[in-house]
Structure 1
Amino acid sequence: MKQHLKIIQLIDSLTPGGAEMMAVNIANALAEEGMQSHICATRLEGDLKLKIAANVGYLFLNKKRTIDFKAIRQLRIYIKQHQITIIHAHSSSYFLGFIMKLLNPKLRLIWHDHFGMSEALDPRPKFPLVWISRFFNATISVNTLLLEWNQHYLKVAKNVYLQNFANFNPQEIKQTELKGDEGKRIVCLANLRPQKDHLNLLKAFCIVQKVRSDWTLHLVGMDFLDAYSEKIKAYIKEHGLVNHVFLYGSCSDTSNVLAQATIGVLASSSEGLPVALLEYGLMQLPVVTTNVGECGKVIFNEQNGLVVIKENEFVVAEALEVLIKDESKRNIFGTELYEHIKVHYSKEAYTQQLIGIYCDAN
Structure 2
Amino acid sequence: MRILQLIDSLESGGAERMAVNYANTLAKKISFSGLTATRKEGELIHQIDKNVSYLFLNKKRKIDLKAIFKLRKYIVENKITIIHAHSSSFFTAVLVKLTLLKIKIVWHDHYGTRFKESWKENKVLIPLSVFFSSIFVVNYQLRDWSQKKMLCKRVVFIPNFAIKENNVDEITNLKGVDGKRIVFLANLKNPKNHILMLKAFLDLKLQESEWTLHLIGRDYFDEYSVLLKNFIDSNKLEKHIHLYGERKDIQFILSQAEIGVLTSTEEGFPVTLLEYATNKLGVVSTNVGFCPEVIKNEITGLLFNPLNDFELKNQLQKMINDKVFRKDMADKLKVLGDNNYSKEVAVEKLLSEYKRLNQ
Mark yes or no: TM-score above 0.5: yes
Residue of structure 1 in register with 2:343 after alignment:
347
Contact 1:190/1:221 (8 A) holds in 2: yes
Structure 2 distance, partners of 1:137, 1:123, is 20
Matched residue type, 1:41: A
Change in Cα spacing, 1:120 to 1:153, as seen in structure 2 (3 Å) is: closer
CA contact (8 A) 1:119 1:293 kept: no
**Secondary structure at the counterpart of residue 91 of structure 2:** helix
Q: What count of residue pairs does the alignment treat as equivalent?
A: 358
Q: Could you list the per-position Cα deviations for residues 3-22 of structure 1 after superposition, in whole angstroms to 9, with x for gaps in the alignment?
A: xx101101011110100000
Match of 2:183 in 1: 187
Q: What corresponds to 1:38 in structure 2?
A: 34
1: CA distance, partners of 2:214 / 2:40: 26
Instruction: For residues 277-300 of structure 1, give each alpha carbon's deviation from its aligned partner in whole angstroms, at most 9, with x where no partner exists.
Output: 000000011100010001000000
CA drift of 1:212 comes to 4.2
Q: CA deviation at 1:32?
A: 1.8
Distance 2:226 2:115 in 1: 25
Q: By how many angstroms is 1:361 displaced?
A: 2.8
- Residue 109 (structure 1) aligns with: 105
Task: Please tell me the residue identity of whatever aligns with 1:356.
Answer: S
What CA RMSD, in Å, does the superposition of the two structures yield over aligned residues?
Answer: 1.4
Distance between the aligned counterparts of 1:128 and 1:191, measured in 2? 26
Q: Tell me: CA distance 1:43–1:315, structure 2 relative to 1, closer, same or farther (3 Å).
A: same
Q: What is the TM-score with the length of structure 1 in the denominator?
A: 0.96
| Correspondent of 1:167 among 163, 174, 182 | 163
Q: What is aligned with 1:144?
A: 140
* Corresponding residue SS for 2:36: strand
SS at 1:37 equivalent: strand
Aligned to 2:259: 263
1:176 aligned partner:
172
2:64 maps to which residue? Answer: 68
CA contact (8 A) 1:16 1:48 kept: yes
Unmatched runs of 5 consecutive residues or more in structure 1: none
Contact 1:51 1:169 in 2 (8 A): no
1:123 Cα deviation from its structure 2 partner? 7.7
Query: What is the deviation of 1:248?
Result: 0.6
For residue 108 of structure 2, what is the amino acid of its counterpart? H
| Secondary structure of 2:326 counterpart | helix
Residue pair 1:188, 1:266 contacting (<8 A) in 2 also: yes
Q: Give runs of aligned pairs for residues 147-296 of structure 1, distance below 5 A.
A: 147-209=143-205, 212-296=208-292
1:59 and 2:55 correspond: yes
Unaligned runs of 5+ in 2: none
Q: Hey, which bits of structure 1, 4+ residues long, moved more than 3 A?
A: 210-213
Distance change >3 Å, CA 48–CA 210, structure 1 → 2: closer
- The AA in structure 2 aligned to 1:300 is K
SS at 1:64 equivalent = coil
The correspondence for 1:81, drawn from 77, 91, 94, is 77
- Alpha-carbon offset, residue 170 of structure 1: 2.5
Whole-Å Cα distance in 2 between the matches of residues 99 and 356 of structure 1?
A: 26
Query: Can you list the C-alpha shifts for 1:106-125, whole angstroms capped at 9, x where unaligned?
Result: 11100000113246334861
* Secondary structure of 1:293's aligned partner: coil
Q: CA deviation at 1:264?
A: 0.4
Q: Does 2:298 align with 1:314?
A: no
SS of match in other structure, 1:53: coil
Amino acid in the other structure paired with 1:58: Y
**Code of the aligned partner of 1:262:** E
Please say if residues 115 and 145 of structure 2, whose CA atoms lie closer than 8 Å, have aligned partners that are also in contact: no
Q: Tell me if the contact between 2:188 and 2:224 (Cα under 8 Å) persists in the aligned partners.
A: yes
Distance (whole Å) between structure 2 residues aligned to residue 86 and residue 252 of structure 1: 29
The TM-score with structure 2 as length reference comes to 0.97
Q: State the shift of 1:346 in Å.
A: 0.7
Q: Cα 1:104–1:200, aligned 2, differ >3 Å: closer, same or farther? A: same
